[in-house]
């Protein structure tokens, strides 16, 4: 395929993607396929000779789409949102076209520098303390990781390296293994200091944890993967109070800030803590600017060596939505979650199981776990909407997460009427069976 | 931006990317910017109100491109290739449009199943032993990681977990820390068993290492990040002999197989070894198929939880190039590296520093490291082509890596004439200065 054919096929693909997203509501949100559905549909091995674009293209609807869970359907209320927006898709096309690998400043200066500045923009949007910003000559700064798990791992490794070096300088007779055996990482059952847990979007009390960590010389990492995006709204920023005690902070614009996966933003107060843990300097990655202290080589900030030009997505989205547009998006989702909460509260068969702070509603039928498991099964078997459950203090709970960029009040009403009807049907049989027993 | 505007802007972006790649030769391969160039060119913080696409678009040439190192220029001979092809760009557009997150089978069955089958296709292309394939009911299988570093880390963690559990079952009195302090990882100064090292593309002797690892119950991981793609050509497959002794194997189609970054293929003989190390089962990620043993949940195979639909890139590229098309690409690069090697050998001022096996030529002026450092500086300062150096046994060596998909014999000739001329100029001054001293 040459550039001329790419022009043609690329435009067809743009239309296909636009069609897909524009009409996604008409697709069943959760697929009908059974495990192993795909293998019999395609060849055993790669073709020897090239196939045409048309041949591949027609297999998208035939082979791929029947097995896709439509995360951007307005009937998708499972897990947490995965961001998607047109500006981010455009930026990703540019990122692929440029196709640079930004492991060092010299490997593509724009890739590194835009990332540093975008993380400053984003840090300012959530009003992070100045120590977390790179600015012109700060000690801190941000980096894009692939996921919150990677950010947590990086924080853990950096903290471990830092404390091992400190202990070794005080007690040189101890080996690394001696020290490692005595290190302790404190976490709740949702791990590290979390703002907006996955199960029920609860919040750790940073203002209590923070001073203890600082006093005891404990590295404090805050994971706000989902909730972090909400802090761009002044009315939710108080949830981040206490971040000033942290060493590192992370949230995922790819969840709730309309920047397509992957874009997990991480900040540290001291860049040197990360670089100290991961520095790797083979000659082929050295360049004459690195000794100047003026440049960032992001390979020292992450597990992988290579990295894409992901900051383009932030740049496109932040500029084309503006802070106000993004605030509107967050506020709409939170408004819709409260709408759903109110619908649940009006039905006395149901209960709300955790405070609704952002876009997640945890709810259940008053009754046994088995009853609620049956309700979830009937919801997901019907495949009109899609939800997943969680456990809260031994209770089986349904999670209703407002996810899609295009979800509106009518979808929320539909979802509730549907759930309510399924509950009515279920309770009839359930009481009947229960009575018989 | 709505779908209608995306149709328009998306097509403009397709043309921009096509133009960029079609005319990339005319751009200076390495940028002129100095560290910190970008920050003064853009605002201090994100705009409150949305900006138009036009505003953002015109900044690409104004702000981004002046700081881009053009990895796909046929004058780029640095590092190793980073793959780029039009079918992969199309697949990435589709991947972004679908925007699913495939951490479990249920999160998007097509995403998981296509990946498993594509890794079988790819495994067969390099003629991996059957134990590494998933097929319908194998014990092994493949997964797409983000990078070879992640694959190595995953292998290391899986190996560590496996041996710790084994020792603990024999000696329950030992703590994990006791055991960890005694574990040993063997590696050369290029790390683990490597096929095609970054410095000079050398090969470890698998047929000697493998039997020792097996006998001593040592997990053997093979990293063929760059070289692996060449094994699709029968005449290079012998370099992989000995893989049958390995527990895990990895190579990067995103380097040399025309699949845009990121796509690092990793196979294991026993899926259970990986899953044992990383299994994570909160209720919200469980689904009713997982107990059947029929499905793969790739979150257990990697560090991140989330994952993109990266196998689409493999599917598009393998089908639209066909095995023969990809073999042609590999063979062209290797032919061009030998062309460069011959040009170097004809000039008695120069020497070749390592056997040219694939697409990398390590060479230097006969003389001091300082002389060669000066030569590299004059090459990279001229910015007609771009190279990076390496150290081989204390010697400063220039690496000439055939990288671009569109590089041809004329570019190789040009590069050599340019280097040769710069060497002539350098040697004149150098001998003059040397004489004066």
Q: What is the pLDDT of residue A435?
A: 62
Chain B residues near residue A74 by CB distance under 8 angstroms: none
Residue A75: closest CA among A371, A419, A433: A419
The pLDDT value recorded for residue B280 is: 67
Q: What are phi and psi of B9, to 5 degrees?
A: -70, -35
Picking from A5, A99, A312, the nearest residue to B72 by CB comes out as: A99
Question: Which range, of A173-187, A350-364, A385-399, averages the lowest pLDDT?
Answer: A173-187
Q: Tell me what the pLDDT averaged over chain A comes to.
A: 94
Residues of B in contact with A34 (CB under 8 A): 289
Residue range(s) occupied by CATH 3.40.640.10 in chain A: 100-309
Asked whether the beta carbons of residue B113 and residue A390 sit closer than 8 angstroms, the reply is no
DSSP bridge pairs for B365: B350
**Does residue A275 surpass a pLDDT of 90?**
no
Task: Inspect the interface and report whether the beta carbons of A3 and B86 lie closer than 8 Å.
Answer: yes
Shortest CB distance from A14 goes to which of B10, B148, B292?
A: B10
CB spacing of B2 vs A49 below 8 angstroms: no
Determine the topology of domain B3-84 in CATH: dopa decarboxylase, N-terminal domain (1.20.1340)
Say what percent of chain A tops pLDDT 90.
Answer: 83
Omega before residue A66 within 30° of 0, cis: no
Given this model, what pLDDT does residue A257 score?
Answer: 98
Q: Which residues contact A269 (CB under 8 A, 6 or more apart)?
A: A131, A132, A139, A140, A246, A247, A248
Number of C-alpha atoms within 13 angstroms, CB side, residue A355? 5
DSSP state for residue B52 in the 8-state scheme:
P
DSSP lists the bridge partners of residue A232 as none
E-state strands within A316-387: 350-352, 360-365
Pairing of β B193-194 and β B221-223: parallel
DSSP characters over A51-105 = PPHHHHHHHIIIIIGGG---TTSTTB-SSS-----HHHHHHHHHHHHH----SST
DSSP B341-353: HHHHHT-TTEEE-
The CATH architecture one would assign to domain B100-309 is 3-Layer(aba) Sandwich (3.40)
Dist. CA A136–CA A139, nearest whole Å:
10
ipTM of the complex: 0.96
Q: Indicate whether A341 pLDDT > 60.
A: yes
CATH 1.20.1340.10 domain position(s) in chain A: 3-83
Q: What is the mean pLDDT of residues A219-226?
A: 96
Q: Can you tell me the mean pLDDT for A17-41?
A: 97
Answer whether B86's CB lies under 8 Å from A361's CB: no
pLDDT the model gives residue A291? 61
Where along chain B do the CATH 1.20.1340.10 domains lie?
Answer: 3-84
| Helices and strands: H and E segment counts in chain B | 12, 9
pLDDT at res. A60: 98
Mark yes or no for CB contact A125/B46 under 8 Å: yes
The residue among B250, B248, B264, B249 whose CA lies nearest residue B314 is B264
Mutate to test the interface with B, among A12, A54, A76, A90 (most CBs of B within 10 A): A90
DSSP string, B129-171: -GGG--TTT-S-EEEEES-HHHHHHHHHHHHHHHHHHHHHHH-
- Among A75-89, A90-104, A230-244, A272-286, the minimum mean pLDDT is found in A272-286
CA–CA separation, A76 and A70 (whole Å): 7
Answer whether A113's CB lies under 8 Å from A100's CB. no
Nearest CA in chain B to A321: B50
CA distance A67 to A31: 5
**Per-residue pLDDT reduced to its tens digit, A86-130:** 999 999 999 999 999 999 999 999 999 999 999 999 999 999 999
Alpha-carbon span A67 to B116, nearest angstrom:
14
- What pLDDT was estimated at residue A437? 52
Low-confidence stretches of chain B (pLDDT < 50) are: none
Q: Residues A348, A349, A353, A357: what is their CA dihedral angle, to the nearest 10 degrees? A: -50
Nearest chain A Cα distance for residue B327, angstroms = 10
From A1, A63, A321, residue closest to B320, measured CB to CB = A1
CB atoms B18 and A10 under 8 Å: yes
Per-residue model confidence as pLDDT tens digits over A181-221? 889 999 877 787 888 888 889 999 999 999 999 999 999 99
C-alpha distances (whole Å) from A77 to each of A43, A147, A340, A407, B101 are 35, 21, 11, 10, 14
pTM: 0.96
Interface test with A, best of B34, B82, B93 (most A CBs within 10 A): B93
Identify the pLDDT of residue A176: 85
The mean pLDDT of A265-294, rounded to a whole number, is 80
A48/B6 CB distance under 8 A:
no
Are the Cβ atoms of B10 and A16 closer than 8 angstroms? no
What are B120's two structure tokens? 């079988």
| CATH fold for the domain made of A3-83 | dopa decarboxylase, N-terminal domain (1.20.1340)
CB proximity list for B166: less than 8 A, separation 6 or greater: none
Q: Is the dihedral of CA B404, B406, B409, B413 positive or negative?
A: negative
């Amino acid at each position: 395929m040459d550039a001329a054919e790419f022009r043609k096929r690329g435009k067809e693909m743009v239309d296909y993607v636009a069609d897909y997203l524009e009409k996604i509501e008409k697709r069943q949100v959760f697929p009908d396929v059974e495990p192993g559905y795909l293998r019999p549909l395609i060849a055993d091995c790669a073709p020897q000779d090239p196939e045409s674009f048309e041949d591949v293209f027609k297999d998208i609807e035939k082979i791929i789409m029947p097995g896709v869970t439509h995360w951007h359907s307005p009937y998708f209320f499972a897990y947490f949102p995965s961001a998607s927006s047109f500006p981010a898709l455009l930026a990703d096309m540019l990122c692929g076209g440029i196709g640079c690998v930004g492991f060092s400043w010299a490997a593509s200066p724009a890739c590194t520098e835009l990332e540093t500045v975008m993380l400053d923009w984003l840090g300012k949007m959530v009003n992070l303390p100045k120590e977390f910003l790179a600015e012109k000559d700060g000690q801190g700064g941000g980096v894009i990781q692939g996921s919150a798990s990677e950010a947590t791992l990086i924080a853990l490794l950096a903290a471990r390296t830092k404390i091992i070096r400190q202990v070794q300088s005080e007690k040189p007779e101890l080996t690394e293994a001696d020290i490692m055996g005595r290190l302790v990482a404190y976490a709740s059952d949702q791990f590290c200091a979390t703002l907006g847990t996955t199960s029920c979007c609860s919040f750790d009390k940073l203002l209590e944890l923070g001073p203890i960590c600082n006093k005891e010389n404990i590295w404090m990492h805050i994971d706000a993967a989902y909730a972090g995006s909400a802090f761009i709204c002044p009315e939710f920023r108080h949830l981040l109070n206490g971040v000033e005690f942290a060493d590192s902070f992370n949230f995922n614009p790819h969840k709730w800030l309309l920047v397509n996966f992957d874009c997990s933003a991480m900040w540290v107060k001291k860049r040197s803590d990360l670089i100290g843990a991961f520095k790797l300097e083979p000659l082929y990655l050295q360049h004459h600017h690195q000794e100047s202290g003026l440049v960032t080589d992001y390979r020292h900030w992450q597990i992988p060596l290579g990295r894409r030009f992901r900051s383009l997505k932030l740049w496109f989205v932040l500029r084309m939505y503006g802070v106000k547009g993004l605030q509107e998006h967050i506020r709409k989702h939170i408004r819709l979650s409260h709408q759903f909460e109110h619908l649940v509260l009006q039905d006395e068969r149901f209960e709300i199981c955790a405070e609704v702070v952002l876009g997640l509603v945890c709810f259940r039928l008053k009754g046994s776990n088995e009853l609620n498991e049956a309700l979830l099964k009937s919801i997901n078997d019907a495949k009109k909407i899609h939800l997943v459950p969680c456990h809260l203090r031994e209770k089986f709970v349904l999670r209703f997460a407002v996810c899609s960029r295009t979800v509106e009040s009518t979808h929320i009403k539909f979802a509730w009427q549907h759930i309510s009807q399924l509950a009515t049907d279920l309770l009839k049989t359930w009481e009947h069976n229960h009575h018989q027993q």
